[in-house]
Structure 1
Amino acid sequence: MHALQYELVLPADYDMGIVRERVRSRGHLLDDWDGMGVKAYLIRERGVLGSPVNTYAPFYLWNTTEGMNRFLWGGPFQGIVDDFGRPEVRQWSGLAYEEGVAANAPAAVAVRRREPVPEDVELSVLMEEAVRETERLAARDGAVLAAAAVDTRRWELVHFSLWEQGAPKAEGDVFRVLHLSAPGRESLRRGRQW
């Protein structure tokens, strides 16, 4: 599994209805993208759910690098580049994935928590803890799914979770889910990824 996210920070007075319409009219185009596990179309709105900014920030879990690369180099990502400019694309190597106790519910909210990997820890111990945290998140009421991944360039962990309607039971940046494309969700390998 590979995780990927780009984040477009938009002006404070930006009409987020434009993003909503973009997702409404185009989101379904990736509902059958080969190699993709899940794409969560995420937004944050200034003053809503504690957000200080307006942001469009899709988050992806990929089953294959081929599917990810086809998306980036020959696919829909060019539309983002054409409309907003080329954003920084963050990538993380998968550590763990779990379906949540509310796996069959529609996802309404997402939580992303990024944290640095301290230099003075044994990597295997920290990565095992990230796996356990994924299991704990997935077991909480309202959890649709949970994943953990690591960026070894920046030495950063990311914990990502989707939640049904209501307050998420996780800490981090909270996003609204506008659409969920999940063509390969059932193929995402569960548990520890090494």
Structure 2
Amino acid sequence: MIAMQYSFTLPADYDMEIIDRRIRDKGPAMNGFPQLGFKAFLSARQGEYGSRENLYAPFYLWDQPEGASSFICGPGFAALSDAFGRPRIRHWIVWHAHVSPDLAAARFADSEHLAIEPHASLSDLRQQEVDLAKQATRDSHALACIVAFDPYDWATVRFGLHAEAPPASNTNQIYRVGHLARG
């Protein structure tokens, strides 16, 4: 499994209804995409739930890397690149993925990116992150809880999908879920 996300920062005065309409129009096309665990079509509005920016930032969980490759090389991503420019795509190797059968109830998402300290035991860190993800799933009733790492930048991502807005903090970004596609 791999996780990936790209993000477009939009101007403060950008009409976010344009993004909402894009999600409504284009989101269903990803339903049934081969090797896709899920794609959460995410947006954030400046000043809402602690967001400092207007964002369009889809998050993907792929069952196989070939699915991600097929998507990135396909017409949907080409159309996105034509509309917004080709984004840098962050991607991570998944350490843990809990996805609830009730995933369709997700209305909010949050993500937190953390640097991995130099010389940290990756084995210990992986176990700690998996344990935290399992605890977060139980405590918050998260509909999805993903923890993954990037061995290039030595960073982890914690990502969750929720029916209710999670609490904002100085370290997490909260999004609205406009559409949730399943493979």
The percent identity for this pair of structures is: 35
Cα contact 2:168–2:174 (8 A) shared by 1 = no
Q: CA deviation at 1:104?
A: 5.1
Q: Distance in 2 between matches of 1:134 and 1:169?
A: 16
Map 1:1-194; keep pairs closer than 5 Å.
1-100=1-100, 103=102, 106-165=105-164, 167-168=165-166, 172-183=172-183
Paired with 1:80 and 1:154, the residues of 2 have a C-alpha distance of: 25
Q: Distance in 2 between matches of 1:78 and 1:156?
A: 28
Q: Does the 8 Å CA contact 1:99/1:138 hold for their aligned counterparts?
A: no
Look up the SS of the partner of 2:153 in the other structure.
Answer: coil
C-alpha distance in structure 2 between counterparts of 1:96 and 1:74, whole Å: 28
Secondary structure of residue in 1 paired with 2:23: helix
1:68 deviation in Å?
A: 0.6
For residues 34 and 170 of structure 1, what CA distance do their matches in structure 2 show? 34
The alpha carbon displacement at 1:103 in A equals 3.3
Is 1:5–1:58's contact at 8 Å kept on the other side of the alignment? yes
SS at match of 1:92: strand
The answer to whether the 8 Å contact 2:6/2:87 transfers is: yes
Cα distance in 2 for partners of 1:105, 1:90 equals 24
What is the TM-score when the length of structure 2 is the normalising length?
0.94
SS in 2 for 1:143: coil
Alpha-carbon distance in structure 2 between the residues aligned to 1:129 and 1:104: 25
Q: Structure 1 stretches of 5 or more lacking a match?
A: 184-194
Shift of 1:143: 1.1
CA distance, structure 2, for counterparts of residue 63 and residue 69 of structure 1 = 12
**Per the alignment, in what secondary structure is the counterpart of residue 46 of structure 1?**
coil
Kindly indicate whether the alpha-carbon contact (under 8 Å) linking 2:50 and 2:168 is maintained by their aligned counterparts in 1: no
Coordinate RMSD, CA, aligned: 1.6
2:106·2:143 contact (CA, 8 Å) conserved in 1? yes
Deviation at 1:105, TM superposition (A): 5.6
Unaligned runs of 5+ in 2: none
> For the residues of structure 2 that align with 1:177 and 1:170, how far apart are their CA atoms?
16
Return the alpha-carbon distance in structure 1 between the equivalents of residues 168 and 136 of structure 2: 7
Report the TM-score, using the length of structure 1 for normalisation: 0.89
